[in-house]
Amino acid sequence: MLGDEAVADAAEAARRHAENRIIDTSSGQDDGLNKCPSCGSAEIQYSLTAKALVCSYCRHTWNEENAEQAFGLDSSIADLRGHVMASGTADVREDLTTITLKCQGCGAEVVINVDQDLQARCHWCRQTLSVNSQIPNGAIPDAVLPFQLTREEAIERIDAFTAKRRAFAHRRFKEEYVPDNVMGVYIPYLVVDGNLHTVLQGTGEVTTRQYTVTRGSGDNKRTETYYDADVYGIQRAFDLLVDDLTIESAERFNAQDNEQATNNILNAVQPYDTENAVIYNSNYLKNFTSERRDLNVRDVDDDVENHFLAIARAKALPTTSRYDRGVRWEREGVAVRGTRWVAVYVPVWLYSYADSATGKNSLVHYIAVNGRNGNTMGSVPVSHPKIFAVSCAAGTVAAVIGAIVGFSQFLF
Amino acid sequence: MLPLLAELSADPTTMMLLADSDSGAGGIAIPFLAGPAVFAAVYGGIYRYYRNTDKRHHFERETEVAVGNLHSGDRKVGENNRQQNRRMRDDNSTDHLRRVHRIAVD
Compute chain A's Rg from CA coordinates: 29
CA distance A56 to chain B (A): 39
Residue A14 has pLDDT above 80, yes or no: no
Can you give the pLDDT at residue A15? 53
End-to-end CA distance of chain B: 53
Say whether B31 and A198 touch across the interface (CB within 8 A).
no
End-to-end CA distance of chain A: 94
More confident of the two residues A109 and B19:
A109
Can you give the pLDDT at residue A272? 95
Nearest CA in chain A to B93: A327
| Region at A213 (left for phi over 0; alpha for psi -120 to 50; beta for the rest) | beta
Reported confidence tier of residue B30, pLDDT bands at 50, 70, 90: confident
Nearest CA in chain A to B21: A402
Amino acid at A185: V
Residue A91 DSSP code: P
Backbone angles phi, psi at A47, to 5 degrees: -105, 125
pLDDT digits (tens, 9 = 90+) for A384-411: 999 999 999 998 998 888 888 877 776 6
Residue pair A136/A114 in contact (Cβ under 8 Å)? The answer is no
Say whether B30 and A406 touch across the interface (CB within 8 A).
yes
Chain B residues with beta carbon closer than 8 angstroms to that of A170: none
Reported confidence tier of residue B26, pLDDT bands at 50, 70, 90: low
More confident of the two residues A359 and A98:
A98
Residue pair A164/B3 in contact (Cβ under 8 Å)? The answer is yes
**Which are the contacts of B56, defined by CB distance < 8 A and separation ≥ 6?**
A255, A264, A267, A268
pLDDT digits (tens, 9 = 90+) for A208-251: 999 998 887 777 788 889 999 999 999 999 999 999 999 999 98
The closest CB to that of B105, out of A198, A234, A271, belongs to A198
Q: What is the DSSP string of A207-258?
A: EEEEEEEEES-GGG-EEEEEEEEEEEEEEEEEEEEEEEEEEE-SGGG-TT--
Can you give the pLDDT at residue A124? 82
The closest CB to that of A378, out of B52, B60, B96, belongs to B52
Half-sphere exposure of A342 (CA within 13 A, CB side): 33
Reported confidence tier of residue B9, pLDDT bands at 50, 70, 90: very low
Reported confidence tier of residue B35, pLDDT bands at 50, 70, 90: confident
SS3 A148: coil
Nearest CA in chain A to B48: A379
pLDDT digits (tens, 9 = 90+) for A260-307: 889 999 999 999 999 999 999 889 988 898 888 888 888 998 999 999
Reported confidence tier of residue B15, pLDDT bands at 50, 70, 90: very low
Reported confidence tier of residue A32, pLDDT bands at 50, 70, 90: confident
Chain A residues with beta carbon closer than 8 angstroms to that of B14: none
Residue from A12, A19, A5, A28 nearest A279 by CA: A28
Which long-range contacts link A387-392 to residues 24+ away (Cβ below 8 Å)?
A387/A168, A387/B42, A387/B43, A387/B46, A387/B47, A388/B43, A390/A168, A390/B42, A390/B46, A391/B38, A391/B39, A391/B40, A391/B42, A391/B43, A391/B46, A392/B39
The closest CB to that of A226, out of B17, B65, B84, belongs to B84
Say whether B63 and A245 touch across the interface (CB within 8 A).
yes
Q: What percent of chain A has pLDDT over 90?
A: 50
Chain B residues with beta carbon closer than 8 angstroms to that of A331: 100-103
Count CB-CB contacts under 10 A for residue A77: 22
- Determine the Cα–Cα distance for residues A394 and B2; give it in Å rounded to an integer: 17
- Determine the Cα–Cα distance for residues A163 and A148; give it in Å rounded to an integer: 24
- Determine the Cα–Cα distance for residues A179 and A184; give it in Å rounded to an integer: 13
- Determine the Cα–Cα distance for residues B84 and B81; give it in Å rounded to an integer: 9
Which stretches does DSSP call E strand in A103-178? Answer: 109-113, 119-121, 128-130, 143-144
CA angle A111, A116, A118 (to 5 degrees): 60
Nearest CA in chain B to A239: B68
pLDDT digits (tens, 9 = 90+) for A148-172: 999 999 999 999 999 999 999 999 8
Chain B residues with beta carbon closer than 8 angstroms to that of A241: 65-68
Residue from A394, A387, A267 nearest B48 by CA: A387
Residue A182 has pLDDT above 60, yes or no: yes
Reported confidence tier of residue B19, pLDDT bands at 50, 70, 90: very low
Peptide bond into A347 cis (omega under 30): no
Residue B7 has pLDDT above 90, yes or no: no
Can you give the pLDDT at residue B55? 93
CB pairs under 8 A between A and B: 262
- Determine the Cα–Cα distance for residues A337 and A239; give it in Å rounded to an integer: 10
The closest CB to that of B105, out of A197, A228, A268, belongs to A197
Residue B61 DSSP code: H
pLDDT digits (tens, 9 = 90+) for A332-358: 999 999 999 999 999 999 999 988 756
Interface membership of A394 toward B (CB under 8 Å): yes
Interface membership of A124 toward B (CB under 8 Å): no
Report the pLDDT averaged over residues A60-89. 88
Report the pLDDT averaged over residues A51-56. 92
Chain A, 5 to 64: residues with Cβ < 8 Å from chain B are none
* Per-residue CA distances from A66 to A55, A271, A295 (Å): 20, 18, 25
CA distance A286 to chain B (A): 28
CA angle A37, A90, A303 (to 5 degrees): 125
Count CB-CB contacts under 10 A for residue A259: 9
